[in-house]
Amino acid sequence: MKKIAIKSLKVFGITIAVILLFMFLFPILFPGKIEKEVKEFANAKLNGELNFKEANLSFFNHFPLLTLSLSEFDLKGSAPYKNETLLSANEIAFGINLKDLVWDGQVTINKIFLSDAFANIKVNKNGEANYNIYVSDSKEVSKDSSSAKIKLDKISIVNTHLVYDDKSTKILIDAKGFNYLGKGDLDKAIFDLKTEAKIDDFNFAMDGEQYLKNKKVNADLITKINTNSLSFIFEENNLKINKLPIDFVGKLDFLKNGYDLDFSVESKNSLLNDFFTALPPKYVTWLEKTKVKGNTDLLLTLKGKYIASTNEKPNLAFNMKIREGEINHKEALVPATNVFLNFDTKLPALDVEKLKVNVDSIFFNLGKDYVKAIIKTEGLSKPNINAKINTAVDLANLDRAFGIGNVDLKGKLNVDINSKGVYDKANKIVPITKGSISLKNGYIKTDYYPNPIKNINVLANVSDNSGSLKDLKINLSPASFDFEGKPIYVKAALENLENVKYDIIAKGELELAKIYKVFSTKGLDLEGYIKADVAFKGTQSDATNGNYHKLNNKGTLILRNIKTTSEYLPKPFLIKDGTFVFNQDKMNFSNFNAVYGQSDLKMNGYMQNVIDFVLSQNAVLKGDFTLTSNYINIDEFMPKSQVLNQTISSESKVETKKETESGVVIIPPNLDLKFNCLAQKVDFDELKMQNLKSEVVINKGKIMLNKSGFDIIGSNVNMDVVYGSETTKKAFFDFKVVAKEFDVKRAYKEIKMFREMASAAESAEGIVSLDYKVAGKLNDQMQPIYPSLSGGGILSVKNVKMKGFKMFGAVSKKTGKDAIKNPDLSKVDIKTTIKNNIITIERFKFKVAGFRPRIEGTTSFDGKLNIKMRLGLPPLGIIGIPLTVTGTQENPKVKLGRKGEDIEETEYDDSTTVTTKP
């Protein structure tokens, strides 16, 4: 027996050694064959750039399978992502069918192994994806016996990072530690794929909002795949997100330009506690300190086609039910019991205007207290509302039972509201409503500020029996609270919001920065001090119609260090201090000091129609002020609109980049204000003005500067300006200016606008006067749109040396008269008109070194020339040489004769397009 055993062991050992030797030598028997045919197959079947460092054929990488391993593997995506990676890995291995290779010489790939990889799936806004890399059957190569083919029965993915970034649906999936094992006859046109999947860190975001973060996912799936139509049928799919079990069935068809979806995600009769484990981390932390009981049913469906290019979208629906729920935070004296919820929402075609929300109903007890509500809405901009809310609850018990973080609440809250009907603001329709809210002995304290808001008492009633703004009544009688030892008291009664009847009393003082700290940890966006002792009583119509004797508006409002913002301006106003005294329809300003960026403003005067302006969108605010300033920077009033672009970083996180785009200065249409301005210094687009005096009128969306005067570059300038905004990107202006005897050289050096409008004057010297009027449009950079400009005037020159003008240099060279090269002009009036991008120069004459030149013609804002010139010869200029100057200011062309080249006019089209005509 001993000999037999030894002999058997020898045979077994030799057999194993032969097999191992065979497995070692076998790859050498096919030098380069498998690598060559895999490369040929990839080039023929993949529409994406494939790169790898080297190939290794071995039985030992995935023992005992024969595999071809490609190191430093990188596969680019399809258009429009041909230059971006679709799949990369340190190594990817393809299992080779040994039987087909030995007996038929056929390289058949039947398994794929992928580990420590990065899969980067992208879809742009038009639904074009980077994964369409497989060449269709119509492009298939001939079935040569030597070519490689795929006949998969296994796909293994280990520890891979998967990112799915779909701009068309605004969905971002980021899965780290992705492990996947799929088995099936993957070479068939239709096959079942059995899948085991596990994700260590799953993140899901939609439209920039994070819904799932750092979740563990386990899944056992059976998916029917049709490779002919590229469709997936999810037949049996059991998932678990953390502890929450989910059944997932449905169908996904990939269309040429989108998807056809039919999904159903359901969790039936699950534990409510398990539901909270699937929520974002802050809820999981809360769950560790809270006992949650009860059952829940969840159902999410998504059905229909999603085609971004045709704006076709599927229907989304979600339903959640909670039964026999109980929530008991560790600090609660009274738990929330009998928690009941039936929540149902539908979003047809993902259209928010068709949104239906049905909370029917929500209920829970806190001992003898209760909260119950039924809320149904349909639509968004004009929602149809049916709501019943009835609550009698001690906020301290509510706070403790639910473990509301970072805040302590106290007080007895009673709510009884019934509201039914359509809210249509434009047509002055509101739901028929009757309700009341009462809070007694309220108290709010947060972790963000050491002292509470206390003694909060609110009694509010609202009623509307007909569903119109005319019948709406709101009573706040009263509302009061104490903060930092200072009481605040407000009493208000409003009726008929079509013609508001108001009776408002407000008293108290408040440090805004401190009360803001109570509610925020993100730094101070609000600050300042308010002290009020005001009373307003009257009707909106009396204020509008001038029946001021029927009003009873009085009191004083004191402000210090208040920051206010407006949609029309990019920076906040800081009201350093100001006292406002109310008297009937007027609000008088007394020593109002404000700062806007670098600008300082001091005003005295009054505003009129303030109450009507506050209560109505269409009311016009009137005012008359004296405004003085040491310095005003007009550039800071230019709007900068922030545009948010969602991007994906290399770590696949949702990031937001902030870009800015310019726009014109917007003048609010509901202002009628007059300012008598005195400003020592004013800056605008490198234009530095001093001693500005002007009457500024803002009315009907326009701003007018009347009888304005200022000093600039040692000269006095008078002007009248009308400016108005047409859109956020376009404005109009009408500008008249009279500037007497300013230095050309200094103007070119110090005034940007002068350099742009008169670039040829770079080397000129002397004194110039201007009497000009021009009107036109401005673009979103507040720059003139040249084809829109029209106007004209006189440019008077005195003792001007026309040095460096290339046109005169070209004429001098052509005629051989050096005196023409840099002419001195003693006194000449040059009349010009502007229209259709053309400046027309009327005929003018001057003398230089015995010659008598005469000039007329046209030039354009882009520098083209068509100037006719007669060079009168000494002594009297009776005999002259006709010349024509064409080309451009930088490259003028001079020829004898009067025949020039007409410059094409550019007509301005107000729809932002331009047309040309000769």
Whole-angstrom distance, CA of residue 695 vs CA of residue 689: 16
- Rounded to an integer, the average pLDDT of 517-538 is 75
Residue 339 CA from chain centroid, whole number: 39
- What confidence category does residue 458 fall into, taking pLDDT thresholds of 50, 70 and 90? very high
- What confidence category does residue 567 fall into, taking pLDDT thresholds of 50, 70 and 90? low
For 43-82, what is each residue's pLDDT tens digit? 666 777 778 777 777 665 655 677 778 888 888 888 788 8
pLDDT value, residue 22 = 47
- What confidence category does residue 230 fall into, taking pLDDT thresholds of 50, 70 and 90? low
Whole-angstrom distance, CA of residue 409 vs CA of residue 401: 12
pLDDT-above-70 percentage for the chain: 79
- The token duo for 828 is 């000449």
DSSP 421-483: EE-BTTTTB--EEEEEEEEEEEEEEETTSSS-EEEEEEEEEEEESSSBGGG-EEEEEEEEEEE
Of 434-448, 474-488, 820-834, give the lowest mean pLDDT range.
Answer: 820-834
DSSP bridge partners of 202? 175, 215
Whole-angstrom distance, CA of residue 914 vs CA of residue 908: 5
Residue 576: phi, psi to the nearest 5?
-70, -45
Query: Under 8 Å CB-to-CB from 284, ≥6 apart: which residues?
Result: 242, 276, 277
- What is the end-to-end Cα distance of the chain in Å, rounded? 115
Q: Is the peptide bond before 80 cis (omega within 30 degrees of 0)?
A: yes
Of 7-16, 598-607, 614-623, give the lowest mean pLDDT range.
Answer: 7-16
- Rounded to an integer, the average pLDDT of 271-283 is 75
Nearest to 94 by CA among 117, 72, 114, 119: 114
Q: Which residue has the higher pLDDT, 453 or 684?
A: 453
- Rounded to an integer, the average pLDDT of 770-783 is 87
Residue 205 CA from chain centroid, whole number: 17
Q: Which residue has the higher pLDDT, 311 or 757?
A: 311
Residue 130 has pLDDT above 70, yes or no: yes
Nearest to 615 by CA among 699, 505, 539: 539
Whole-angstrom distance, CA of residue 451 vs CA of residue 515: 9
Residue 277: phi, psi to the nearest 5?
-70, -20
pLDDT value, residue 652 = 39
pLDDT value, residue 680 = 93
Whole-angstrom distance, CA of residue 502 vs CA of residue 9: 106
Segment (H or E) for 103: helix 98-104
Give the largest Cα separation in the chain, rounded.
143
- Rounded to an integer, the average pLDDT of 333-360 is 91
- Rounded to an integer, the average pLDDT of 644-669 is 54
- What confidence category does residue 90 fall into, taking pLDDT thresholds of 50, 70 and 90? confident
CB 918 within 8 A of CB 906: no
Residue 421 has pLDDT above 50, yes or no: yes
Q: What type of residue sits at position 738? A: V
Residue 550 has pLDDT above 60, yes or no: yes
Most confident of 240-249, 268-277, 641-650: 268-277
Q: Which residue has the higher pLDDT, 524 or 319?
A: 319
Residue 120 has pLDDT above 80, yes or no: yes
Q: What type of residue sits at position 417? A: I
Of 91-95, 540-544, 612-616, give the lowest mean pLDDT range.
Answer: 612-616
- Rounded to an integer, the average pLDDT of 294-304 is 91
Residue 792 has pLDDT above 80, yes or no: yes
- The token duo for 271 is 């534990």
- Rounded to an integer, the average pLDDT of 109-127 is 84
- Rounded to an integer, the average pLDDT of 692-717 is 88
Q: Where are the alpha helices (DSSP H) in 751-895?
A: 752-757, 806-815
- What confidence category does residue 98 fall into, taking pLDDT thresholds of 50, 70 and 90? low
pLDDT value, residue 141 = 41
Q: Which residue has the higher pLDDT, 656 or 179?
A: 179
Segment (H or E) for 199: strand 190-206
pLDDT value, residue 355 = 92
pLDDT value, residue 646 = 42
Q: Which residue has the higher pLDDT, 257 or 297?
A: 297
- Rounded to an integer, the average pLDDT of 524-551 is 81
Whole-angstrom distance, CA of residue 163 vs CA of residue 202: 10
Whole-angstrom distance, CA of residue 918 vs CA of residue 905: 6
Residue 686 has pLDDT above 50, yes or no: yes
pLDDT value, residue 138 = 45
Mean of the per-residue pLDDT values of the chain:
80
Q: Which residue has the higher pLDDT, 61 or 305?
A: 305
Residue 549: phi, psi to the nearest 5?
-70, -15
- Rounded to an integer, the average pLDDT of 99-112 is 66
pLDDT value, residue 145 = 41
For 391-410, what is each residue's pLDDT tens digit? 999 999 999 888 887 889 99
- 389-412 in b/e form (b: 16+ CB < 10 A) is bbbbbbbbbbbbbbbeeeeebbbe
- Rounded to an integer, the average pLDDT of 315-325 is 92
pLDDT value, residue 308 = 78
Rg, Å, the chain Cα set = 40
Number of H-type helices and E-type strands within the chain:
12, 47
pLDDT value, residue 104 = 61
- The token duo for 497 is 């919001």
- Rounded to an integer, the average pLDDT of 776-799 is 86
DSSP 903: P
Query: What's the helix, strand, coil split of the chain in %, to 5?
Result: 15, 60, 25
CB 853 within 8 A of CB 844: no
Of 103-107, 453-457, 649-653, give the lowest mean pLDDT range.
Answer: 649-653
- What confidence category does residue 303 fall into, taking pLDDT thresholds of 50, 70 and 90? very high
Query: Under 8 Å CB-to-CB from 878, ≥6 apart: which residues?
Result: 872
3-state secondary structure 644-656: EEEEECCCCCEEE
Place of tokens 């021009």: 774
Residue 819 has pLDDT above 80, yes or no: no
